[in-house]
Structure formats: C-alpha cells, structure tokens
A and B are shown apart, each in its own frame.
Chain A
Amino acid sequence: MVLRQVNSDTGVTQIVVRANRSMSWRANVLLAASLGGLSAVFGGVIASFGFWMVLPFAGLEFLMVYFCLSKAYRRLGYTEVISMVGDKLLVESGYNKPVMTSELPSHWTKVKFADPSSAFEVGTLSLQCSGKSLEIGRALGKEDKRLLYTEVLRCLHLDESKLRLVS
C-alpha cells in the first residue's frame, strides 16, 4: 500500500509504503496461544496416562507456530517512509521503528523505475544519486510500484516548484 500524506503544520510531505496486514499482533498471539493450549491439553492428558512422548512434539510444534506467526507478522510490517524535508529526501525503513535512514539531496536525486513488460516480473524502483542506488518499495507489486514512482516524482517536482530564480 502506498499512502501520501502532507503535514499541514510543517508542510512536510510523506509517502508511507507498507504491505497489507489484516490482523493485529495481539490477535496473532491469541491465535498461537489457542493452538498451543489445545496441543498442551491433548498432550498433557495423554502424558498423564504415561505416554509422555506426545508432549515434546506438542511443544516443538507450538514453538514453530509462534515463530512462523511472528515471522509472517514482522514481514508484513516492513514500512518505508519517504519524507521531503527542506531540500532533502529522507528515506526511513524498518519493521517497528526506523532502523535504516538515508538522506538524499533532492536536487541531485532521480527516481528510476525499470518497468518490465513481462507479467512475471515486478520491476525495480530506485532513487539514484551520485552514482549510488537505493531501492525503494521492495515489498510492492508492479501496480503499487508505478504509483510510488508517480508519487516520488511528484514530490521531487513539488520541491522544484518552490524555488524562485533570484539572479
């Protein structure tokens, strides 16, 4: 999903890029607990008759359920925030908080989208500056990448429109 928002107080334009996530972490924990609880009850009752070998498998399975749900939730929570702050383009990315931040001078930055004709590929969207490349919108599909490309381009052009020729 690509969302564009403008802070009316500061005038900062932000583009938020993230995948769709249809359940909260709390609900995921409850889901894992319900599955683990059920396995624990079954395993516990059978173990109480002396057939304890069900329990380790139930435990291992619970760990796997928890690990997989947390991994899936985390993957879906990857967020990129692209902000226009003054003459800088700020790109922050991370799962629950920004863990990688990149600052690019907006006048020297170009946005490139290698839009493939093949239905099998989604293409690569990147910001390019001083011979270096920073890929953005990695989690997005082709349509959303096109949208993000348009939004970033609009952002960079908006910035140019504010400039005034003085000499």
Chain B
Amino acid sequence: MSTAAAGHHEHDHDDHGPAKGWTRWLFTTNHKDIGTLYLWFSLVMFFIGGGMALIIRAELFQPGLQLVDPLFFNSMTTMHALVMIFGVVMPAFVGLANWMIPMMIGGPDMALPRLNNWSFWIMPFAFTLLLSTLFMEGGGPAGGWTLYAPLSLQGPDSFAFVIFAIHFMGISSVMGSINIVATIFNMRAPGMTLMQMPLFVWTWLITAYLLIAVIPVLAGAVTMLLTDRFFGTSFFNAAGGGDPVMYQHIFWFFGHPEVYILILPAFGIISSIIPTFARKPLFGYASMVYATGSIAFLSFIVWAHHMFTVGMPLAGEMFFMFATMMISVPTGVKVFNWIATMWRGSMTFETPMLFAIGFLVMFTIGGLSGLMLAITPADIQYHDTYFVVAHFHYVLVPGAIYSIMAATYYWLPKWTGNMYDEKWGKIHFWVSTVFLNVLFFPMHFVGLAGMPRRIPDYSMQFADWNAVATIGAFGFGFSQLIFVWVVLKCVKGGEKATDEVWEGAEGLEWTVPSPAPYHTFEKPPAQFS
C-alpha cells in the first residue's frame, strides 16, 4: 500500500456530524445549520429594525417634536431601511435557500460549504459595524438608505463605518449568490432538468444572477463616496467637477434590481404554497419561469423612474415610464397564474395559505400604486411623499415579509419535526393583517394630501391619519411576538409531523423524514435517476 495514499486518507473525516456546543454553529458547513443561523439572525434584526420603526412612528404620533431630535429621527429612517433590506429580508431568503434548495434539487449540501459558513458569519460583523455608528460622535448615517451625495458626504466621520458595513454585506451576498448558482447548476439530482426545478429554485437562481450583476455597481458607488468624503476625489462633488446626479443613476442601477432581489424569492415561495393548499399543480409553470426572467431583465432598464424629478429629457421620461409599466405584464402573468391555480381547487386555509393569499391581495395593492408612480407627470406630484412610503411598504411587508412568514409556517414542520400551533398561527395572521392595513393604508391618504417623507414634524391636517398609522404600527409590531412564540413552541415540541406534512405537498423535500436528517440526499433521489 502506498503510504502517500494512506496518509492522505487517514485524517479529516470527522466533518460529517455536528460538533457539540457553540462550535457547531461557529464552524458548521452544513446547509441546514447555516440556514437556521440565517433565519435566527434575520428574526433578531427584524425586531431591531422594527424597534426603529416604532421610534419613527412614536415621534409621528402627533405633530411637533416630542421624543427624539430630528437628526436621530433621520438616523432611524436610514437605519430602519438598511436593517430591514440587508439584515432581514435578504438574510431570511438566503436562510430559506440554504435550507430548501439542496433538498429541493436532491443535492447533499451546498456546492461550497465553507464559503457558505463565511458568507453567514460576515453578517453579524457587518451589522455590528453598522449599528455601532449610532453610538459614535455625530451619530449614524442620516441621509437616507440611498446615501445620496452630496448630503451623505456632509455627515459625521462614522460614514466610513457605514461604507465598510455595506461592503461586508455585499461580499456576503455575492458569496451566497455564487454558492447558490454553483449548487443549482452542478448538484441537481441526475435527470432533473432545469424546467423540472421547483419555482422557488428558479426564482432564487434568477435572484442570484441579479445580485452578482449589481453588487459590484453598489460597491463601486459607495467606494467613490468614501474617496469623495475622505480622500479628496470629486466623483460626485459638483464643486470639484463631479456629478451628484450620476450617483443617483448609479445607485438606482443597483437599487432597482435590488427591489426585485427582495421580491423574486417571495414569488417562488408563493408558487410552492398555493398549489399545496389548492391541491392542484401550479398553473402555467413555464410561463412563471419566463415571467420571472422577464421581470429580472426589465429591472435593469427602469432605474430612472426613481428620479423623474431630477430632470431628464422627455424621451428619457417616456422610455422609463413605459418600461416600468411593462413590468406589470409578467407580474400580472404571475398573479393570474396563482389565481388560476386556486380556481376550482380543493382549497384549505392553513396559516401558510392565509399568508400566501394575504400576499396576493396586498402585494397587488402595492403593485397598483407602483403603476400610479410609474406615470411620470403623476410621479412628479407623488415624489417624496408618504404615498411612496405606502407603496413600497405594501410591496415589502405583505410582499417579502409575509412570504417569509408563509415559508416559515410551511416548512417549519419539516425543519423541526413538529406541527406548529395552527390556532395561534391563524391569530398571528389576522392580527398582523388588520394592524398592517391600519398602519400603511392611511399613508396613501396623507401622501396624496402632500405629506413629505423623512420628516419628524408635519402640518396639523395630517395629524389624524398619522395617529391611526402609529396605532397600527404598535399593533403590528407587538403582534409579531405571537410569531416568535409559535415558532419557539414548535421548536420545543408539539404534534409530530408526518414526512409529507401537507396533504397536497409535492417535491423532493417532502420525501425526506420530518425533521429532515442532518444529511439528506447523500444518495441521489430515485425518481430522477
């Protein structure tokens, strides 16, 4: 026997079981462990970002300045957005991808497990860095999450920490995306073609493409802000020959695809849940895939609809207006396909389905107000008002956040092996939905009446609806404690879940035992062999 071979094989085969104690979580390369870490991190950040939202709404309960000074208020609006986008929605989707994609494609793990570990553990550092700026001299960033120059360049020195935190978040996102792309393409079960993949896998594949395409743009933009602020360059400084409007173009060239990064995986989740509880196959699978691809393509050519008011040639306004409106076509295809899937289905309304239907109804409301904002002359009136705030919160809260909650209720029995408390799940849905609408719907009214966003004080005529919105905010915020309680109760125990969990569930993830073993599909699944 060659000693080289023996030496090579005699070590390093202890990486198959979980380590004991905290090192399990620090050093883990298992996709399920990393998925769990992402999901808990996201939940913690949800309450931090939510706390910031409550500070904002508490200040806006009445006109005048009551609780916080205006600079801190602006820091809260900025941080709330950064935390919710990069710390809640994106990590939650990555967590779901980590848990579910290998099981859905019949792969044993992610393609690059160590990279997966790093991409998670960068996140706590990035957010510690970001949140620490609130305690630094001059406070945290207060110029909005878009970090528009020249306003952001006039902030305190803690700005450098914000830029580095954004870089870390970007690195984490890119590593996660590359891993997802490599996994989906290289580790599908033998015989599983691309058009046999579940919609959640498809939507994540396209999301990962978008992320890989646009993160360098964000990284370049914020680095130029950094050099403008600290190294005397003038990329965006008009006094030095720079162009501040170009920052807006570059930022939104990243920012608009980012909006779809926040919603495409949600489409995948809803496309998994509705067929299960309608007990019918998804209507128009291929058209759903092509619609997702079309939305991703269009997301690259609509960025300037965020900046109609900066002034641009009429042809430009027309182009961006019509291109934006075109997005409603593939989005409409999706909405109608979900409705067609439910049509004459044998429907039941368990908590995941309630959240999915809530998504469908309220995301469509957000989509319709988006169409209103796409109309250039109308947008010039709506721009920077609470109407815009209402629009994107309708898209992101009952859109992205509801889909994450739907996914959690849907897959929780598979993760834990226990059924969650259905009664409290439904109470969570109804209480959340009522308060969510109390919170965000009045923002349409005050926005159309002209109330500007990002201000700690406002005119008396907006007082009533702001008070209503604040009541909704506290109701919605505290109702999320029900969610935490239901999840913790399910993790701790409960009625044992079957392998299939849901009667109408289809897909490889439902063929493994509940809870899913630490290693799944070590042997490729038979039905695709």
**Partner-contacting stretch, out of A7-15, A60-68, A151-159:** A60-68
> Is A82 at the interface (CB under 8 A from chain B)?
no
The answer on a CB contact under 8 Å between A76 and B1 is: no
Q: A31-B181, A134-B6 are in contact. Are A71 and B186 (CB under 8 A)?
A: no
Q: A46-B217, A51-B220, A103-B2 are in contact. Are A143 and B522 (CB under 8 A)?
A: yes
Which B residues touch A31, using CB under 8 A? 181, 185
Which B residues touch A132, using CB under 8 A? 1, 3, 6
Q: How far is the CA of A55 from the CA of B111 in the complex (A)?
A: 27
Binding site for A on B (CB under 8 A): 1-6, 8-10, 13, 16-18, 107-108, 111-112, 115, 174-175, 178-179, 181-183, 185-190, 192, 209, 212-217, 219-221, 223-224, 227, 235, 246, 250, 253, 517-519, 521-524
Q: Which B-chain residue is minimally distant from A147 (CB atoms)?
A: B523
Which A residues touch B8, using CB under 8 A? 100
> Is A33 at the interface (CB under 8 A from chain B)?
no
Q: Which B-chain residue is minimally distant from A54 (CB atoms)?
A: B220
Which A residues touch B111, using CB under 8 A? 68, 72, 75-76
Which B residues touch A73, using CB under 8 A? 186
State the majority secondary structure of interface residues on B: helix
The answer on a CB contact under 8 Å between A39 and B213 is: yes
B166 to A: closest C-beta gap in Å: 12
Q: A22-B187, A31-B185, A143-B522 are in contact. Are A53 and B223 (CB under 8 A)?
A: yes
* A76-B187, A120-B18 given; 12 more Cβ-contact pairs under 8 Å: A1-B524, A27-B185, A39-B212, A42-B213, A49-B246, A53-B223, A58-B220, A69-B182, A76-B186, A100-B4, A100-B5, A140-B522
Q: How far is the CA of A56 from the CA of B227 in the complex (A)?
A: 15
The answer on a CB contact under 8 Å between A42 and B186 is: no
Q: A72-B111, A129-B1, A135-B13 are in contact. Are A120 and B186 (CB under 8 A)?
A: no
Q: Which 6 A-B pairs have the closest CB atoms?
A: A141-B522, A54-B220, A135-B9, A57-B216, A72-B111, A22-B188
Binding site for B on A (CB under 8 A): 1, 20-23, 27-28, 31, 35, 38-39, 42-43, 46, 49-51, 53-58, 60-61, 64-65, 68-69, 71-73, 75-76, 91, 93, 100-104, 118-122, 124, 126, 129-130, 132-136, 138, 140-144, 147
Q: How far is the CA of A94 from the CA of B224 in the complex (A)?
A: 46
Which A residues touch B181, using CB under 8 A? 31, 35, 65, 69
The answer on a CB contact under 8 Å between A124 and B216 is: no
The answer on a CB contact under 8 Å between B217 and A43 is: yes
Which A residues touch B179, using CB under 8 A? 68
Q: How far is the CA of A143 from the CA of B179 in the complex (A)?
A: 26
Q: How far is the CA of A49 from the CA of B245 in the complex (A)?
A: 12
Q: How far is the CA of A55 from the CA of B219 in the complex (A)?
A: 10
Most buried by A among B186, B192, B212: B186
The answer on a CB contact under 8 Å between B9 and A64 is: no
Select one of B174, B209, B522 contacting A64, CB under 8 A. B174
Select one of B16, B190, B217 contacting A54, CB under 8 A. B217
Select one of A102, A130, A135 contacting B2, CB under 8 A. A102
The answer on a CB contact under 8 Å between A61 and B174 is: yes
Select one of A60, A93, A135, A143 contacting B523, CB under 8 A. A143
A107 to B: closest C-beta gap in Å: 14
Q: Which A-chain residue is minimally distant from B18 (CB atoms)?
A: A120
